[in-house]
Structure 1
């Protein structure tokens, strides 16, 4: 006994007839590469301006060219809805050793400088009294 053959569905027949042309390679000129270099410089500059910044208080400056900055934020408890303070301590790079304990500083995220340090000092907002 012979099994009857079913006709192919219409979508399959349509996909078999489609042919795709091979992509044409573009030839780059020196002006194109210069324009690309300018675009990359602009995008890297834009990426640099989008780095996170935080403001906090210096709690330690004992290490050379390093400070520990405490950043306080208020968080609401998910169930009880009470607000409480959460302190995050971040190590930051202080190139000139100009910070003292109690200073309010602005730090910016940067590439990892050591195991714990990936922030750098931008400015001293307020000196300690």
Structure 2
């Protein structure tokens, strides 16, 4: 049995990373920008702070708007900057 996250290619299992974020731009055709927030802890002062990263993602789903929460998954390169795809809307 294989995981839903693993794809067998040339005898090697590849695990695709999944991230949860929100759509911040939907201006492009079939592409949305998803912002993923993560919480880090400063090594010396032990204060928590939020780091945001933007991922251009391929979008096959209809009706995604700015502010929607989505799950994105690492995938093949769709273009120079787009290496993620939208899996589902939360």
Q: With structure 1 as the length reference, what TM-score do the two structures score?
A: 0.59
3-state secondary structure, aligned to 2:63 = coil
3-state secondary structure, aligned to 1:47 = strand
When the two structures are aligned, how many residues end up with a matched partner?
83
What is residue 88 of structure 1 aligned with on the other side?
Answer: 53
Moved over 4 A (4+): none
Higher helix share: 1
Query: How far off its partner does 1:95 sit?
Result: 2.1
Q: Which has the larger radius of gyration?
A: 1
Q: Does 1:111 align with 2:76?
A: yes
Provide structure 2 residue ranges, at least 5 long, that are not aligned to the other structure.
1-6
Q: Does 1:74 align with 2:64?
A: no
Q: With structure 2 as the length reference, what TM-score do the two structures score?
A: 0.83
What is residue 43 of structure 1 aligned with on the other side?
Answer: 8
Question: How large is the RMSD of aligned CA atoms in angstroms?
Answer: 1.9
Higher relative contact order (CA 8 A, sep 6+): 2
User: Matches of 1:87 and 1:97 in 2, distance apart?
Assistant: 25
Query: How far off its partner does 1:96 sit?
Result: 4.1
User: Matches of 1:83 and 1:90 in 2, distance apart?
Assistant: 23
Higher strand share: 2
